[in-house]
Every structure is written in structure tokens, then in C-alpha cells.
Structure 1
Amino acid sequence: MIASCIEGRIRFRHPALSDPELLEIVTGQLAEMPGITGIEANVRTGSVLVTHDASVATGDLVAMAEALAATHAEALAATTPAKPPKKKMTPAQIKRRTQKIGLASCMAATVVTGLADTKSAHLTFGFALAGFAAWHLYMYRRRFLA
């Protein structure tokens, strides 16, 4: 809610402040506070810049903003953008991801087991790497042969 705060000014930003009616209410209530020297509201950005003199504590402005948010909680909740739903992977994407992870992990395991001088494990991972490479070549055969 607080976008920036320096001595003598504080900026509040929230998507609900893009509603002109709600912004009018908020700026009107903030203007009634003693010690406020100026208020600049921007509907496009959903922000309110409040300038104040030294007699106003920043904590009082923050408390006022929290009280306003609690008062207008329904309007704030209604205008808060919903999180977009996570896209599900298609079967083709799952195949490609499995293939790439298999290639990378088998390659790493082959190198590690080769350096560790464990011949049977190195051979096993080498065959698995060859299998994933063959699967990769089969899936992309049209691109390779074009």
C-alpha cells in the first residue's frame, strides 16, 4: 500500500485507487486531517501523494491509510486483480521436458561416474544417455532430415 515514504511526503498505491469514486472518498478523508499540505491523486496509476508538515507523524498517516483500507475492504478486494490460472502442460510438452531432463541428468551422471571410476554405473548411465539421445533423435527426425 505504501509505495514510498520520505520526510514530508508519502505515496500510497493500490489498484483499487484506480476507481475514481473510491479515490475521491480517500482523498477527501485524507484532506480533512490536520497538517496535510497537499494531495495529488492519479487515477491512472492508482496512487495518492500526500505532502504534510512536520506536525504530522508518518505513523499517523499509515494508520489512517490502514483504517481507510479496512473501511473500503470490499472495494479493495473487488478491484484487486486475480492471479491468472496456471497453465497445464500438454502431453507433448511433458514428453519434451522428460526427454531434456533425462538427457541432462544421464549426461551428468555419466561424467560423475566416469570420474569416480565406477565402471558398471558409468556403463549403465551411458546406455541410459544413449537411449535418451535416440529418443531425442526420433522425436526431432523431421527437423534433422529436412
Structure 2
Amino acid sequence: MIVSTVAGRIRVRSNRLKSAKIAQSVEARVKQLAGVNEVRINGAAASMVVHFDQRAADIEWLEDQIEAICRPQPQAKPRNGSRLSKQFNRATKVGMMSTLATSLVYIALGKKKPHAQFGIAFVAFAGLHMAKHARQLLR
């Protein structure tokens, strides 16, 4: 993040500064820090130069603040769906496991017809489960 610090100037590099929207936000927040006189961002170079008054700001504090501002903020985790969606997901998983186990028991007993019927049921549950998760599966 911080590439160099000399008297009255801090140079920062961050790929986040390539985004104009993020760069504007970072610039506005850094300008509000105590002792900061000027902020120049070069989005193409993903760099920022901060000019500050050494008498008005502690260099280490200012570096820490700038790094915190430039660091990516953790994103809120998206909700995995409604309660009904979770229940559906659980039901398809239970359905797959129970029909697969039953199908295997019937084949071990030598009963082909029930084995095939429970195999078809397993494929149906697997299809429902995959349809629900198609967006993640087909990325």
C-alpha cells in the first residue's frame, strides 16, 4: 500500500484506485484527515500522493489512517435465500440420500424393479437440487 513517505508527502499504490468511484471516495475521506493539504490520485497508475503538514499530523497515525481507507472493506454476505428456499434445499438433499440408499439396498437384494424406481426418484431429487443451484453450477 504505502510505497514511500518523505517529509510532507506519502505515496500510496492500490489497484482499488483504478476505479473512479472508489478513487473519489478515497480522495474525499483522505482529505478529511487532520493535517492533509492536498490529495492527487492517478487512476491509470493506481497511485495516490498525499501532501500533509508535518506539524499538524503524526506520520505513523496518518499512514495507518490512509491504509485503512485504501484497504478493501469487507462485503456483507449475501443471504442464501428465504426459509422456504432452505427447507426446499434440505428436502432435496434428504430425498437424494434416502432414495439412493434405498436403491442400493434393493439392488443388493436382487430386486431390479424397485431399484430402478428409487433410482429414478434419486435422479428427480438431484435434478431439483441442481435446478435450484444452476446459477452457481454454471458459472
TM-score (normalised: structure 1): 0.47
TM-score, normalised to structure 2's length? 0.49
